[in-house]
Structure 1
């Protein structure tokens, strides 16, 4: 058992749920880094779109990695599913919190997160302990 399971007394049964959990952790870290970058440099908010896509892509890659590692099979499938659910959660939260509109960046975000999650899943399935 990992330390989190021992501390909190539960274990996530779904590989995608655990991948989304780790995606959220990396998203929080990325948001802090972007905030520090925005505060400490002359970059304006209008120039942050590539950085935001990078953070979302890396978060999805990390979540896909964890998801596929936990499943032990079909890495690209679990990684892409993690990217899809990650994007849906981000869209729901952004719509409810800030009334964000559906723009051309939504399909781009979906493509970035699904491909990054699938790539992370391909990497993660090969590092798992199952089948060894």
Structure 2
């Protein structure tokens, strides 16, 4: 087939494609969830500021899980490894955005967030590759 790029012959390109698609989708989901959380904070008016950090980590975990799940659905193989890599790529995107937004050094919380996002991406990938699709 002329004019079409195929990655079927190159497993590395297939893996990169699946990981990038999953990570970008996880980043979009994260942006939507963060927007909804900000809207909730603004509409609540009076809230404890101690809730913000755990909520951000929870949203990061959810986004990494979704990224790993989608990565496994796209690749249909190696869900654990590809999911972990998509969680790592999503963390790197978060880290770069955080470093650009503030001039503060990387903290211990960032290391914890990296570990948690890699693990949740791996779990999402594991569940995504093992989930049976419905036959129509």
Query: Is TM (by shorter chain) over 0.5?
Result: yes
Q: Does the CA-based 8 Å contact 1:72-1:128 persist in structure 2?
A: no
- Gap runs ≥5 in structure 1: 1-11
1:67 is aligned to: 71
Question: What residue in structure 1 maps to residue 105 of structure 2?
Answer: 101
- 2:61 match: secondary structure: helix
Deviations 1:68-115 (Å, cap 9, x if unpaired)?
Answer: 111111111011001111111111111012224211101110011011
Q: Which residue pairs with 2:128 in the alignment?
A: 124
1:48 counterpart SS class: helix
> Structure 2 stretches of 5 or more lacking a match?
1-12
Does the CA contact (< 8 Å) of 1:76 and 1:121 recur in 2?
yes
Kindly name which structure, 1 or 2, has the bigger radius of gyration based on alpha carbons.
Answer: 2
How many residue pairs align between the two structures? 118
Mapped partners of 2:130, 2:96: distance in 1: 32
Out of 73, 88, 91, the residue aligned to residue 87 of structure 1 is 91
Q: Which residue of structure 2 aligns with residue 6 of structure 1?
A: none
* Residue of structure 1 aligned with 2:32, choices 23, 29, 32: 29
The CA deviation at 1:37 is 2.0
Deviation at 1:128, TM superposition (A): 6.4
Structure 1 length-normalised TM: 0.82
1:14-70, CA deviations, whole angstroms, 9 ceiling, x for partnerless residues?
100100111111111111121012112222444301100011000000000000111
TM-score (norm 2): 0.79
User: Within 2, Cα distance between the matches of 1:112 and 1:37?
Assistant: 25
Q: Any conservation in 2 of the 1:38–1:44 contact (CA below 8 Å)?
A: no
